[in-house]
Structure 1
Amino acid sequence: MKIDRMLEIIIYLVNHDNVSARYLAERFGVSVRTIQRDIVSISSIGIPVYAAGGKYGGYSILPTYKMKNLNIREDEQQMIRKALESLATSYTSDTLDGLIEKYNAIVEKEGGQKVFWDFGVSRENKKVQDSNRLLEKAIHNKNVVSFSYQKADGTQSQQSVEPLAIHYKWYAWYLFAYSKKRQAYRTYKIARMRDITIEERKAVRDHGDIRERMKESEKEYYRTCIAIEIHFHEKEADLMEEFFPDCAVERLPDGQCRTFIYVPPGERLWKALLLSFGDRVRVVGPEEYKADLILTAQKFLSNYDI
C-alpha cells in the first residue's frame, strides 16, 4: 500500500543520507516515477525532504528534523517490544521482520537496543495467520464476513457479521464485530472460526469510535462472567498473575494468597490452566465450579490405571 511504502521511505531517509530515487525504486519494487511522486507527497505533509544533485546526490531529510532515539525512553522501548511479540504470534516472518527492521532503524542510530527474536514456537498456526489476513482485508474494505463458529462448549453456529477489529488478548487472537442479527457487538476467537467468506455486501452502519465500542462490549462481557475464588501459596503469585493478568492477587495472613478469576458460562480453558498447577492451587467456590473441576480431574485420571 502507498501509505505503508511512504512510511518506510520516511524511516529510511531518517537514517540514511543522499538516497537515490533508483535505489528506493529497487528497494520497494516500484518505478522511479512512483518514488518521485511519493517524495512529493511526503514533502506536502510537512516533512522537509530535499534533493542533492551530482554523482553522489539523492534525497535526504533536513538533519534538524531527524528523530532522535533519546525521545524513546527505555520503558517505551519495552512497550514496543511487547507489541511486536504479540504480532509475532500471528504474522508471517516477512511481515514481522519488516516491522522489526523499522523499529531497529529508529533506535539503532542513536545507540538504542536492537531487537533479535525467534518466535518459531509461539507463532500461531497457519490457519490463524491466513484467517487474520482475510479478516484484515474485509475490515479494510468494509465487507461483511460469514463463517462457522464453534463455542467453548462445542456448539456450532453460522455467523454473518461486520468485522471491525482484530485484537490480541488472553494469549489468542480475536475478532471484534457487529452482529446485525443480534443487534449487538460480539467477540469471536479466530481459532474457532471456520470457512470464513468475504461477502460482497458492504458494512453500512456507522460504529463511531471502535475502541470505545470494544471497551463497552468488554464491560458487558464481564457482567456475564462468574467469579471463581482461587487460593494458592504466595510463591505461586507471580505465575498466577502471568496466567490471569487482570485478576488482583490478595495476600492472606497464613502465607496464602487468593484471587478471583472471571469466566463466561461454558468456558473450559480455566480448568486446564488451574489443573496445570496440580496441588498448588485450590478452588474455594462457587461450589458448582469446584465440583466441575473435580469431575474433570476424575475423568482425566480414569484413563489411567491409578
Structure 2
Amino acid sequence: MLNKGTITARELASRFGVSTRTIYRDIDMLSSSGVPVYMNKGNGGGIHILENYTLNRAIFSERESKNLLMAVKTLQATQYPELDIALEKMGAIFKNASNHDWVEVDFSPWASSPNEKNKFNDIKRAMLERNVIRFEYVNGEGHRSSRLAEPEKLIFKNNAWYLVAFCRQHQEHRTFRISRLKKLDILAENFEKKVLPKPRVEEWNTAPQSLTPLKLCFKAQVINRVYDYFDDSFLIPNDDGSLTLVAEFPEDEWLYSYILSFGSSVEVIEPEYMRKIIAERIRQALQLYEL
C-alpha cells in the first residue's frame, strides 16, 4: 500500500485473504491510532496514506531504521529466500531504504574461488531442504576424512563459520569449521530432523588449557594486523611507533604459527624459553632454503 499509493478495499481484501468489512475496520483502527490513512469514494477513489508519510516516523528512529536495514542486508548475504522482497517492502516503510548498498557481507575469504562462496549457500540450501551432504573434512590435526552428514545449524563464532551436523560415520552430532570443508556435494536423499544436543566441537579443544603470559613487540608496519585481533587494553604504544602486546595465551601450535607469520616484524620479549623455541623454528625453516 505504501509503495502503490492508492488501492481499493477489494484489492487489499484479496491481497490479505479477508473481507472488505475487515479492511474497513482495520482502516478505522489505523486512523484512530494516528496513522494518516484516508478513503475516497467514487471512480479513481480508494485508500491511501498521506504522501511522504513513513512508519519510521511513528515507530522507529532514523538510527533504528538503519540498524534494521543493516541486519536484513547482512542476512541477505546468505541469499536467504525472499529477502529481496523483504528489502523492497522495507523501502516502502523507510523512504531511505533504497540506498542500502553501503554494506555488503560476503562469507568467502579474500583470494578465494567462487566455489568458496557457493559452499556456504549450498550448505544453507541443504539445511532448508533437509538434504544429506557429502564432503571431505580436514580436522585440527590435519587429518582428512570423508563424511556423510545431516546439516542442522550454522554458527558464527570467533570470526569463523561452523556447521553443526549429524555425522553418519560417528552417529552423533559434530561441529565442523566450514573453511575446512572440501568437495561438498548435496545428495538427493532427505533426512528427518533430530533433537539437537550440545554439539561436540571438533575444531575447539574442550580440554582445559593453561595460559602462558606473553609479551610481544610488533613493528609499526604490522600494527593493522594486531588491531584485527586485540583490544587496546592489551596494547602498549612505544615511542618508535611499535606496539607491545601483553596477554595470556594457550600455548599451542596456533600460537607459534601466529608469531612466526609476522616474520621479522615481531619479537618475543617474554618468556625466555619461548624466544628459544621461535629461534629454533626459524633455524629449521632456514635449512629448507640453504644451498
| TM-score, normalised via structure 1 length | 0.56
CA–CA distance in structure 2, aligned partners of residues 288 and 126 of structure 1:
40
The equivalent of 2:174 in structure 1 is 185
- Equivalent residue for 1:115? 100
Residue identity opposite 2:228 in structure 1: E
Q: Which residue of 2 aligns with 1:291?
A: 277
For residues 290 and 160 of structure 1, what CA distance do their matches in structure 2 show? 44
- The equivalent position to 2:127 in structure 1, one of 139, 143, 147, is 139
Number of the residue aligned with 2:17: 40
Any stretches of 5+ residues in structure 2 without a counterpart? 28-36
Per-residue deviation, 1:87: 5.7
In 1: Cα distance, 2:61 partner to 2:217 partner: 39
Does 2:228 match 1:242? yes
| Cα 1:296/1:193, change in 2 over 3 Å | farther
Counterparts in 2 of 1:146 and 1:241: CA distance versus 1, 3 Å = same
Tell me which residue corresponds to 2:189.
200
Using a 3 Å threshold, how does the CA distance of structure 1 residues 101 and 179 change in structure 2: closer, same or farther?
A: same
Displacement after TM superposition at 1:227 (Å): 4.7
2:146 corresponds in structure 1 to 158
Q: C-alpha root-mean-square deviation of aligned residues, in Å?
A: 5.6
Kindly indicate whether the alpha-carbon contact (under 8 Å) linking 2:126 and 2:132 is maintained by their aligned counterparts in 1. Answer: yes
Contact 1:148 1:196 in 2 (8 A): no
SS of the residue corresponding to residue 161 of structure 1 reads strand
Measured in 1, the distance between the counterparts of 2:107 and 2:40 equals: 46
Identity between Structure 1 and Structure 2 (%): 14
Unaligned runs of 5+ in 1: 1-12, 21-31
Q: Distance in 2 between matches of 1:242 and 1:261?
A: 16
Distance 1:201 1:178 in 2: 13
SS of corresponding position for 1:115: coil
| Alpha-carbon distance in structure 2 between the residues aligned to 1:144 and 1:106 | 39
How far did residue 157 of structure 1 move? 0.5
Query: Could you say which structure has the larger radius of gyration?
Result: 2
CA contact (8 A) 1:166 1:174 kept: yes
Whether the aligned pair in 2 keeps the contact of 1:131 and 1:190 (CA below 8 Å) is no
Per-residue CA deviation, residues 187-229 of structure 1 (Å, 9 max, x unaligned), is 3324532132335141342227xxxx47x95997554667564
User: Are 2:265 and 1:279 aligned?
Assistant: yes
- Say whether the 8 Å CA contact 1:143–1:203 is kept in structure 2: no
* Contact 1:100–1:115 (Cα < 8 Å) also in 2: no
| C-alpha displacement of 1:68 | 1.2
Contact 2:165 2:174 (C-alpha < 8 Å) held by counterparts: yes
**CA gap 1:81/1:19 in 2 versus in 1, 3 angstroms:** same
Distance apart, 1:145 and its partner CA = 2.1
Counting only pairs closer than 5 Å after superposition, residues 49-60 of structure 1 correspond to structure 2 as none
Alpha-carbon distance in 2 for matches of 1:54, 1:117: 44
Q: 2:33 — aligned with what?
A: none
The range that moved more, 191-200 or 130-139, is: 191-200
**1:71 is paired with a residue of what secondary structure?**
coil
Task: Write the distance in 1 (CA, Å) between the matches of 2:268 and 2:105.
Answer: 34
Higher helix proportion, which one? 1
How far apart, CA to CA, are the structure 2 residues paired with 1:71 and 1:192?
A: 41
Q: Distance in 2 between matches of 1:56 and 1:170?
A: 57
The 8 Å contact of residues 249 and 258 in structure 1, kept in 2 or not, is answered as no
1:145 to 1:52, Cα distance in 2 relative to 1, 3 A:
farther
CA distance in 2, matches of 1:101, 1:169: 30
Aligned length: 264
Structure 2 counterpart of 1:196, which letter? Answer: D
Offset of residue 149 of structure 1: 1.2
